[in-house]
Amino acid sequence: MIIKLKKNIDEVLKNNIIEKLDNIGYKSNDVTTQYADYIIGVGSKEFDIREVGVLNGVEDIHRVTSSAKLVSRKWKTKETIIDLGDDIKIGGGHFQIMAGPCSIESEKQIETTVRHLLDNNIKIMRGGVYKPRSSPYAFRGLGIDGLKLFYKYCNANGIKIITEVMMTDQIEDMYEYVDIFQVGARNSQNFNLLDALGKVNKPVMLKRALSGTIDELLASAEYIFSNGNEDIMLCERGIRTYEKAYRNTFDINSVPLLKKKSHLPVVIDASHGVGIREFVEPVSLAGIIAGGDAVITEVHEIPQIAFSDGAQTLSHKEAEIYYENVRKTVRFRKDLKRF
């Protein structure tokens, strides 16, 4: 059960509601986000929700029985819009392309990428400075200094930054330089990291785990929301299956299902979802047709010399055609009737 509280509710009224829930046999979870105050009631007894609805201080009340509550579309039917400022928005009809290299490699590379993005009217740059790598001996990213460089160029050119955060301790240092915190697939159920990102007032893009279910992804998003941060995007990036013809199997089914189950925007990561350069475009367009609110795509001036993920990265030249097709497809889908 989700109870949205009136703005600036008096503590007495709030305690009154909690006490009422307690009497009915529901455990209360206090949730305060950047936008509102909620009480999440967890329990299984049947009762007439109007008993609570009539209490002073209650803005509205909804019964949500699934374990994902605040992120559920059953409660909030309007799509969440992530507002990054400067009129850059994702969700609720707003579409964005996020592009850039797998890893931030050098000042020169940042410069080149920023120019490429400006030339193509892309507003959000991706790039890792903390890289999760299976081998401890592999390149693990330029770290906070790389991020500062990244920020210098993007900030000067009105480009927003999305980059991966791997641990709670990094959040504070990164905060100033980041527009969207990305949670990687391997950290999709790192609940302490999710808790901490729930306490930050910056958008979070949460990737599905390597073999995460839809329900687990929503439950992970619920961690962030219930800790206080409503600005969450879900990212489909392919799942692990028996098929070895591609790096991952992009789960196209998840896109319309996530859109139906949740009010949060869904981001398409076809670079990881298929892992083969020439198929990034058809899979991205498929994800858009199926309902995606954004794409996040690896591009590099010369993919062959990228520090990581070269095989799934588009060259800047290829990317230009890609962006055009993405935009055409976004426009096209508005023509489709829905039944």
**Residue 326 in tokens:** 């993405």
Nearest approach in angstroms of CB 13 to its own copies is 23
Nearest approach in angstroms of CB 332 to its own copies is 5
The residues, any chain, with a CB within 8 Å of residue 302's CB and separated by 6 or more, are 315
Specify the residue, 193 or 204, whose C-beta has the smaller distance to its own copies.
193
The residues, any chain, with a CB within 8 Å of residue 204's CB and separated by 6 or more, are 180, 181, 182, 183, 197, 224, 229, 231, 232, 233
Question: CA of 278: how far to CAs of 3, 166, 271, 319, 323, in Å?
Answer: 48, 29, 10, 11, 14
The residues, any chain, with a CB within 8 Å of residue 65's CB and separated by 6 or more, are none
Nearest approach in angstroms of CB 282 to its own copies is 4
**Residue 259 in tokens:** 């859109």
Nearest approach in angstroms of CB 234 to its own copies is 14
Chain centroid to CA 123: how far? 16
Nearest approach in angstroms of CB 153 to its own copies is 27
Count of C-beta atoms within a 10 Å radius of residue 302: 12
Question: CA of 183: how far to CAs of 77, 148, 269, 281, 283, in Å?
Answer: 25, 19, 13, 23, 22
Specify the residue, 84 or 252, whose C-beta has the smaller distance to its own copies.
252
Nearest approach in angstroms of CB 109 to its own copies is 21
Specify the residue, 153 or 322, whose C-beta has the smaller distance to its own copies.
322
Specify the residue, 152 or 247, whose C-beta has the smaller distance to its own copies.
247
Specify the residue, 113 or 220, whose C-beta has the smaller distance to its own copies.
220
2: β partners: 40, 62
Give the 3-state secondary structure of residue 339: coil
Question: CA of 57: how far to CAs of 50, 53, 91, 230, in Å?
Answer: 13, 9, 30, 21
Specify the residue, 47 or 246, whose C-beta has the smaller distance to its own copies.
246
* Residue-by-residue DSSP string for 278-318: HHHHHHHHHHHHTT-SEEEEEEESSGGG-SS-GGGPEEHHH
The residues, any chain, with a CB within 8 Å of residue 152's CB and separated by 6 or more, are none
Q: Which residue has the tokens 């509550």?
A: 69
Give the 3-state secondary structure of residue 226: helix
Nearest approach in angstroms of CB 152 to its own copies is 26
d(CA 327, CA 331): 6
Specify the residue, 39 or 110, whose C-beta has the smaller distance to its own copies.
39
Nearest approach in angstroms of CB 276 to its own copies is 8
Specify the residue, 106 or 241, whose C-beta has the smaller distance to its own copies.
241
Specify the residue, 49 or 289, whose C-beta has the smaller distance to its own copies.
289
Nearest approach in angstroms of CB 139 to its own copies is 10
